[in-house]
Structure 1
Amino acid sequence: MSEDWLDTIHWNADGLIPVIAQETGTGKVLMLAWMNRESLERTLATGEAVYWSRSRRRLWHKGESSGNTQRVVQMRLDCDADTLLLEVEQHGGIACHTGRHNCFFHRYEDGGWRVVDPVLKDPEEMYGGTK
């Protein structure tokens, strides 16, 4: 596979690009994550989302611990070539490590942030105390 397509991407100073994961069918934004060249190549090779974990400083195959994988339906690059959009099938129905469907469960209301989406599965059940 030619690497020209990778060179089109405007990677940040850390060699990363932000990635929005959007649920196919609903259009719901599930999460924001990051990819480096290797994680993007692995995503294309496997058909499942593989991200770069900035906190763990390693590749992270989404669902490797929880089983909540993301099958990539299509991938798009924005007009500035500095953000990726992945349209995904969210297997297991949970994208967030908190056990919620998506990571955007706080809504600004009356001068503060309010949790508006329920926990679908206890994170302890998915990760056994680690995430």
Structure 2
Amino acid sequence: MKFDPATLTYNDAGLIPAIAQDAKSGEVLMMAWMNAESIQQTLETRQVTYWSRSRQEFWVKGATSGHTQALVDFKIDCDRDCILVEVNQEGPACHTGRRSCFYTAIESGEEVEILKPMI
């Protein structure tokens, strides 16, 4: 069956959450938003493209920073309302310079920083 982005379930803003995961290690890197056009662009170019809610424009991951995400695999969850992009990440995924955006853990009720910036 040919994939059609219109078959996915988007929120009221026409967006769907996309989780980026390192294809080799399985580490969860980040979550961002996609729309039907950014999904199509990602599949065509194999460079992960998100929709920036703050800038209201397409965001090709790494276009300005060099910290690119090359698409390895594209998966849809069972409810068709979330995307998993497995990527080859170049450099940090997080804008803070960390490998992952998920660098704060809760341990015994306290926030603990578990990743330091790479750059």
Which band: TM-score by shorter chain? over 0.9
- Aligned partner of 1:87 in structure 2 is 86
1:39 is paired with a residue of what secondary structure? helix
Amino acid at match of 1:9: L
Percent identity for Structure 1 against Structure 2: 47
Counterpart Cα distance in 2 of 1:65 and 1:99? 14
Aligned-partner Cα distance in 1 for 2:111–2:64:
29
Counterpart of 2:114 in structure 1 is: 116
Between Structure 1 and Structure 2, how many residues are aligned? Answer: 118
- The Cα of 1:17 is off from its aligned counterpart by 0.3
Cα RMSD (Å): 1.2
| Residue aligning to 2:44 | 45
SS at structure 2 position matched to 1:43: helix
Cα deviation for residue 64 of structure 1 reads: 1.2
Deviation string, structure 1 residues 86-129 (Cα, Å, up to 9, x no partner): 0000012x1000000000000102322111101111xxxxxxxx
User: Structure 2: which amino acid aligns with 1:117?
Assistant: L
Q: For 1:85 and 1:6, how far apart are their aligned partners in 2?
A: 14
Tell me the TM-score normalized by structure 1: 0.86
How many angstroms apart in 2 are the aligned matches of 1:13 and 1:31? 22
Runs of 4+ in structure 1 deviating by more than 4 angstroms, as ranges, are: none
Q: Distance in 1 between matches of 2:68 and 2:21?
A: 13
Matching residue of 1:129: none
Asked if 1 retains the 8 angstrom alpha-carbon contact of 2:18 and 2:32, the reply is: yes
Deviation of 1:45 after TM superposition, in Å, equals: 1.4
- The TM-score with structure 2 as length reference comes to 0.94
Give the equivalent residue in structure 2 for 1:15.
14
Deviations 1:46-105 (A, max 9, x none): 10100001111111000011100000001000000000000000012x100000000000
> What residue ranges of structure 1 are gaps of 5+ in the alignment?
122-131
